[in-house]
Chain A
Amino acid sequence: MASVHESLYFNPMISNGVVQANIFGIKDWVTPYKIALLALLHEMSTTKPMALLDRRRLNKLILPLQQGPDLTFEQLLSTVEECCAPMVNAVKLRLFLMADRELQDMEHFFAILPNAFSDSEAYKTSVVGLYMRQMLLAYNKLSFSQVYKLYKTLQQYCRQGQRPPRDFSTLAAEDMELTSNDDPGADPMDGEELDAGSLHQSDLGCDEARGPLSQKQAEYFLARQAYLLKNDENKAMRPATLQEELNNILKFNPDFAEAHYLSYLNSVRVQDLYISTHSLLHYFDRLILCGGEGKSNGDEGYGRSLRYAVLNLATLHCRFGHYQQADLALQEAIRIAQEANDHVCLQHCLSWLYTLEQMKGSDSVTLTEDSVKMAAHFCLPYLASLGVQSLVQQGATQGIPANRLLDALRGTDVVHWKQSLSELVEISLAQTASIWRLYGKSTMAQQQVQLLLGMASLESVNYGVQQNNTEPFAIALCHLAELHADQGLYGAVGDIIKHLKQQFPSHTQHSKLWMLCDLKIQFEKAMNSGKFHLAEPHVTAIGALDSMEGLYRKAQLLRALNQMSEASKILQQVQQLGVKKRNTEMIIRVMLATAELHWDSSGFSASLPLLLQALTLTHTHNLQSLESETILHLAFTQLMLGVPEQALALVQAVLESVLAHGALLKKGRALLLMARCQAVLATSAPEELRLGKVEMAVQTLAEAAVFFTQLGCKPRLRDVYYLQARLYHTLGNVQERNKCALLFRLLNQELPPGSSIAATPL
């Protein structure tokens, strides 16, 4: 549950477009690609008779070509070919005419270029017309040497297109030959020579392959990688390769500030505090320059980026868990934002402030409420609903009535869909699923999870990735796995965990979620089947991921191993932790476990007040699953205290909800308990009814046995057989009795000898 909120501190500013604004006041420059595009346009306007369909397809092609990154000649040609085959040859011819002859031909091309458009449908102010004029202007500005250089690059561009694609080693080898022709005597196959040669080849090949990216290409690259990092980390480049690529970009253009930002994101990905801080600060140092130069926003933009710089630094420290540092940075951001009267920035600060408070474990409801109010006032839907979601999360743990929470979520959902804040929709769904699970409504939780998983991405631009690498998805899948585990479908669980492993490799941010979930399931499985030695290593692993949970599990294991005093000590510790962290769920679970410890020492009456206390807590917090659990515990205590009628009444009261929502184990346990009550009651029943009652108890036991068999819960199954055998004995059904006794004996041999009969009271 707590993990839902973690997704909130994936920098909200990226998606809000605050930092996204890319300030590139770069004018267009003529590149060979653009010449090729001009040639295409020229051909299109001069070739009059053309199939209508072809023309339409070409027209549709123009805009993406004009605005996209530079393509290689080959790529361009193949794109055009898809639309209109004859056009390819025309363009090719024109370019080769330019490239294979002399500089004068290119000059000529630019000279005749405007004529083609003067009488065509391309107006001066149309997209094509503007583009053409821009290019002409840019071309005319070039000095002679620049024109010559352009011509040279054009030649290269065309030649690359002509040549069949080759791998780089041959290219480099040719390079070697080209340059080493003055030394024909050297034998290239000489051993040592070869060694040195191959080394150089790879270096040179590398150099050739990379080359510097053009401005547009670099921008495209950065935008794409940033998008992938946010939405589907696995499809992005490996951290090391990405960093290398970024370094390459920065080497050629140190002023390319966005690359620093991506480097920051990338190093956060691999948890590298040093480089991420460095890159972040570098980015903002650079951004400050851009802001200073931009005349439109002038000083305002400059100050603004300063504020966001500090805020980002705060988020960075938050990410790495340096709460004190984050606090200091946040205070600084708030101070300068206040001085500048920047309410939007203040709102961001506020939302971070409550997040930070929450992460530190202190109460932040008032702050959050303020934040929501202010955000609504300044029309910041993202922050407002983020606040609401955070409030809902806190409310859920603090026992706010369910209807209010769900109402609040529904209210924000409307906003999300209106503003198409897909990220928040996902969080909302995952949160609803978590809340339903907390309340013990497994079907509702499952439905929400399925809804989230089945939802198509809302992003208008997606690079063919489904947005399924975010935290809500991880949480939803974990819920799904646990729900399946509850029903004993371990095969499905394995599949889900495998998928999680693929989607969120262990080095990524959200991998802890599924690791914990996986371990918990493994632990439960081992405990259920009575293989305590298997459960032991899981306890340590769980403790590493979540200390409180780990302690709780340790206590459970110790109890199973009959080390009561240690278990009790640890439970006390967990109780204190739970109170400190206000984890009501854990507090109740500890109470139940402590009650069980009392049972083991036959202190049934001592466990009653604890259980009653737990019951009140579950009531106030709407934790129905835990409530039924507590009632079952109460019923067992009563049974042991000799009031089987009361016990049976209690069990029957909760049986419906247990059978509807509970896990297999719980269903089985409830039925077993009911059978016990029935059996006890049968002994005191009048003679004529006794057999009928025993019969009923046997039936209930059979039902319980089905659940336990499904789950593979052998210790309990053994108890069931034992009881069944005894009851059959009373009934005088020798054959059935012997069968059950045999089954019992088989199981008893299989299980460790330490756990004697009826060691599992409930």
Chain B
Amino acid sequence: KPASPNVLPGAVEDTRNMAATLSGEFADLAQIKKQLISVIAQCKERGLVHSVKASELAFSLPSLPLDEVPPALPLTEEDALDLDALCLAKSYFDLKEYDRAAYFLRGCRSQKAYFLYMYSRYLSGEKKKDDETVDSLGPLEKGQVRNEALRELRVELSKKHSAGELDGFALYLYGVVLRKLDLLKEAVNIFVAATHALPLHWGAWLELCNLITNTEMLKSLSLPDCWVRDFFMAHVYTELQMIKEALQKYQSLTEAGLTKSTYIISQIAVAYHNIRDIDQALGLFNELREQDPFRIENMDTFSNLLYVRSMKPELSYLAHNLVEIDKYRVETCCVIGNYYSLRSQHEKAALYFQRALKLNPRCLGAWTLMGHEYMEMKNTSAAIQAYRHAIEVNKRDYRAWYGLGQTYEILKMPFYSLYYYRKAHQLRPNDSRMLVALGECYEKLSQQIEAKKCYWRAYSVGDVERMALLKLAKLHEQLNESDDAAQCYIIYIQDIFSCGEQLEHAEVSTALRYLGQYYFKNKLYDEASLCAQRCCDYNDAREEGKALLRQISAVREQGESSSTDLSLPIVFNPLSNTTTPVRRVAPLDLSSVTP
């Protein structure tokens, strides 16, 4: 039985280790199922919709025999007293008549009724706030519309809290109220208390997750030791872009017997999407759609993947399918937006993203995607607006920062865009795209040293687009650093061929052409002729290859012997398969590769 992770304030623990281990309670899945069933019932009684996640999980577990199904919680004296009022109020609550529900609950004493009473008041306030936003009195008032009930709720709840009368659900509500009042520190404390009081309530965990901004903060929290915690940690890791740890955690969760859970599958798929492992993610999403064909959640992510892969028919099918299910969902609108974008109908795409934003103005992805669409339409000011909105919703949205950088780069302001790219790079230090963008900016500003550093770093962190080395090589070429340039071209060629797939923009011919000339200049005629021959395989370099071959044979006829200077880098050495870049690398045997 593995030791359960126990994170105390100040305890420094390797997060990898934490990710791998699971709470011991996963040994008894039936117990978990029982707990789930009971908490689902409790949530339902209180009108909490988060229980859907628990139901999903419960569904994925094997069903229990009749005698093991947990009975409903026994009613207390107070519950019995309030039963009628609660029943009535719950009906009104379900009909979204919150004020009415609250009115009939005002005198109730039981915990359940008290929660529902407060919750209805809270929801009523939220509903009124939303309605008010539509007809406010002026532009400044737009932001001033507040949920008026919040402050009253806070005062009442804080009294009860200091008297210790709040149960897990009420604590959760208290936390929500605090968060809405922007009292984040207090809110975190309350949510932690809520998870301790009722660890099975996923809503509290979820709220807590939204408030955690970094690993240090995560480590400093003392969380209850329960199996839900593992789900929570995985979720937080995903949010904090610690994808590896998240994947590990989810992996061990599935291994523990939760293979059928659609929730876990979707989360893993999203995680793969975040690290741009497109094939894995696509496979998982397809599996998800098989298991849960009417699912709308996460389908926008799926559509992003399809978009990246330019899978038009699949995307079109997905869009049609979702429209049939529910066309007034944010996800649906995003999918349709992506679909139009892929068909280069950017106006329509922007329109659909706008619709998504009307449905939910805090939908981050839609703002960024809309920015991209405006960029495509060359409407830079609108693009900047969209990206800025995205950043307002979430400061950590690296795509929006990156988009802003791109916009300014298009406006020919490379220095200006540096700031934005740097921001994006800060958020994703290991993403080669930002580094390449930074490098390009530096190159435009004639800051070659910085540019070189950026490109090399981009290559070192694993270049996604495989452009960094080529750019680095060209930069060296410009600076007349032929050795370094040749080195880069060599690694570039190895890289292109070792990854197997053909990339559209691959400029192997450029590399070969340069290498041919380089060897020729250094009198390594064998290597030069080999490169020249390879050149002939490409249309755009064929003539030059032939010319070089002629030159080589001319020189050889004059009897000049090949140089034996071995300090030069040679492409055609036996392969030593090192994936980590070393400056003087022993490269790949090209002769076995047929382009």
A binds B: yes
| CB 8 Å contact bits of B365-382 with A (1 = contact, 0 = none) | 000000000000000011
Known: A277-B419, A332-B413. A253 touches B140 (CB 8 A): yes
A346 to B571, CA, bound (A): 51
- In the complex, whether A603 has a CB less than 8 A from a CB of chain B is no
* A193/B162 in contact, CB under 8 A: yes
| CB 8 Å contact bits of B431-454 with A (1 = contact, 0 = none) | 000000000000001010000000
Known: A146-B135, A302-B381. A336 touches B412 (CB 8 A): yes
* A179/B155 in contact, CB under 8 A: yes
Contact residues, A321-360 vs B (CB, 8 A): 325, 328-329, 331-332, 335-336, 339
B311 CB to nearest chain A CB (Å): 35
A604 CB to nearest chain B CB (Å): 54
- In the complex, whether A212 has a CB less than 8 A from a CB of chain B is yes
B421 CB to nearest chain A CB (Å): 12
Closest partner residue, chain A, to B106 (CB atom): A182
Contact residues, B377-425 vs A (CB, 8 A): 381-382, 384-385, 388, 392, 404, 411-416, 419-420
* B419/A285 in contact, CB under 8 A: no
* A292/B382 in contact, CB under 8 A: yes
* B143/A329 in contact, CB under 8 A: no
- In the complex, whether B320 has a CB less than 8 A from a CB of chain A is no
Contact residues, A285-339 vs B (CB, 8 A): 285-286, 288-289, 291-292, 302, 306, 309-310, 313, 325, 328-329, 331-332, 335-336, 339
Q: Which residue of A196, A302, A313 contacts B415 across the interface (Cβ within 8 Å)?
A: A313
A336 to B447, CA, bound (A): 19
Residues of B within 8 A of A309 (CB): 416
Residues of B within 8 A of A29 (CB): 137-139
| CB 8 Å contact bits of B451-488 with A (1 = contact, 0 = none) | 00000000000000000000000000000000000000
Q: Which residue of A149, A153, A186 contacts B159 across the interface (Cβ within 8 Å)?
A: A186
- In the complex, whether A58 has a CB less than 8 A from a CB of chain B is no
A310 CB to nearest chain B CB (Å): 5
Known: A193-B162, A289-B384. A332 touches B140 (CB 8 A): no
A288 to B135, CA, bound (A): 28
Closest partner residue, chain B, to A196 (CB atom): B162
* B143/A215 in contact, CB under 8 A: no
* B411/A306 in contact, CB under 8 A: yes
- In the complex, whether B556 has a CB less than 8 A from a CB of chain A is no
Residues of B within 8 A of A183 (CB): 156, 159
Q: Which residue of A143, A179, A285 contacts B135 across the interface (Cβ within 8 Å)?
A: A143
Interface centre among B132, B137, B162 (most CB of A within 10 A): B137
A204 to B183, CA, bound (A): 12
- In the complex, whether A159 has a CB less than 8 A from a CB of chain B is no
Closest partner residue, chain B, to A216 (CB atom): B140
B402 CB to nearest chain A CB (Å): 15
Contact-residue size bin, chain B (C-beta under 8 Å from the other chain): 35 or more
* B144/A180 in contact, CB under 8 A: no
- In the complex, whether A86 has a CB less than 8 A from a CB of chain B is no
Residues of A within 8 A of B445 (CB): 328, 332
Contact residues, A185-207 vs B (CB, 8 A): 186, 192-193, 196, 200, 203-204, 207
Interface centre among A180, A252, A331 (most CB of B within 10 A): A252
Main SS at interface, chain A: helix
Residues of B within 8 A of A306 (CB): 411, 413
A275 CB to nearest chain B CB (Å): 13
- In the complex, whether A128 has a CB less than 8 A from a CB of chain B is no
Residues of B within 8 A of A302 (CB): 381
Residues of A within 8 A of B135 (CB): 143, 145-146, 149
Known: A183-B159, A200-B158, A332-B413. A254 touches B392 (CB 8 A): yes
- In the complex, whether A176 has a CB less than 8 A from a CB of chain B is yes
Q: Which residue of B138, B412, B447 contacts A335 across the interface (Cβ within 8 Å)?
A: B412
- In the complex, whether A214 has a CB less than 8 A from a CB of chain B is yes
* B137/A332 in contact, CB under 8 A: no
Q: Which residue of B141, B154, B163, B414 contacts A332 across the interface (Cβ within 8 Å)?
A: B414
* B143/A310 in contact, CB under 8 A: no
Residues of B within 8 A of A253 (CB): 139-140, 142-143
Closest partner residue, chain A, to B154 (CB atom): A200
Q: Which residue of A26, A143, A180 contacts B155 across the interface (Cβ within 8 Å)?
A: A180
- In the complex, whether B152 has a CB less than 8 A from a CB of chain A is yes
* A146/B140 in contact, CB under 8 A: no
* B139/A251 in contact, CB under 8 A: no
* A215/B138 in contact, CB under 8 A: yes
- In the complex, whether B151 has a CB less than 8 A from a CB of chain A is yes
* A30/B137 in contact, CB under 8 A: yes
Residues of A within 8 A of B384 (CB): 285, 288-289
Closest partner residue, chain B, to A144 (CB atom): B135
Residues of B within 8 A of A282 (CB): 388
B21 CB to nearest chain A CB (Å): 38
| CB 8 Å contact bits of A171-186 with B (1 = contact, 0 = none) | 0000110011011001
A251 to B144, CA, bound (A): 9
Residues of B within 8 A of A196 (CB): 158-159, 162
* A179/B156 in contact, CB under 8 A: yes
A316 to B534, CA, bound (A): 53
Residues of A within 8 A of B415 (CB): 310, 313, 325, 328-329, 331-332
Interface centre among B135, B183, B416 (most CB of A within 10 A): B416
Residues of A within 8 A of B106 (CB): 182
- In the complex, whether A526 has a CB less than 8 A from a CB of chain B is no
Residues of A within 8 A of B155 (CB): 175-176, 179-180, 200, 204
| CB 8 Å contact bits of B154-183 with A (1 = contact, 0 = none) | 111011001100000000000000000001
Closest partner residue, chain B, to A290 (CB atom): B381
A146 to B382, CA, bound (A): 31
Residues of A within 8 A of B138 (CB): 29, 31, 214-215
Residues of A within 8 A of B152 (CB): 179
- In the complex, whether A150 has a CB less than 8 A from a CB of chain B is yes
B526 CB to nearest chain A CB (Å): 46
Contact residues, B543-564 vs A (CB, 8 A): none
| CB 8 Å contact bits of B125-153 with A (1 = contact, 0 = none) | 00000001001111111111000000110
* A212/B144 in contact, CB under 8 A: yes
A143 CB to nearest chain B CB (Å): 5
- In the complex, whether A218 has a CB less than 8 A from a CB of chain B is yes
Residues of B within 8 A of A26 (CB): 139
* A336/B413 in contact, CB under 8 A: yes
A218 to B159, CA, bound (A): 36
Residues of B within 8 A of A515 (CB): none
A143 to B143, CA, bound (A): 19
Residues of A within 8 A of B413 (CB): 306, 310, 332, 336
Residues of B within 8 A of A176 (CB): 155
Residues of B within 8 A of A215 (CB): 138-140
* B162/A192 in contact, CB under 8 A: yes
Residues of A within 8 A of B142 (CB): 253
Residues of B within 8 A of A400 (CB): none
| CB 8 Å contact bits of A210-230 with B (1 = contact, 0 = none) | 001111001000000000000
- In the complex, whether A610 has a CB less than 8 A from a CB of chain B is no
Residues of B within 8 A of A285 (CB): 384, 388, 404
Q: Which residue of A212, A292, A328, A331 contacts B140 across the interface (Cβ within 8 Å)?
A: A212
Closest partner residue, chain B, to A251 (CB atom): B143
Q: List 22 A-B contacts (CB under 8 A).
A: A26-B139, A29-B137, A31-B137, A146-B135, A149-B132, A153-B137, A175-B151, A179-B151, A180-B159, A186-B163, A196-B162, A215-B139, A253-B139, A281-B416, A289-B384, A292-B385, A302-B381, A313-B416, A328-B415, A329-B416, A332-B414, A339-B412
4 nearest A-B residue pairs (beta carbon): A292-B381, A29-B138, A252-B143, A332-B415
Inter-chain pairs besides A29-B139, A179-B156, A310-B415, 7 sampled, C-beta below 8 Å:
A146-B135, A146-B136, A196-B158, A251-B143, A281-B420, A289-B388, A292-B381
Residues of B with Cβ closer than 8 Å to A? 106, 132, 135-144, 151-152, 154-156, 158-159, 162-163, 183, 381-382, 384-385, 388, 392, 404, 411-416, 419-420, 445, 447
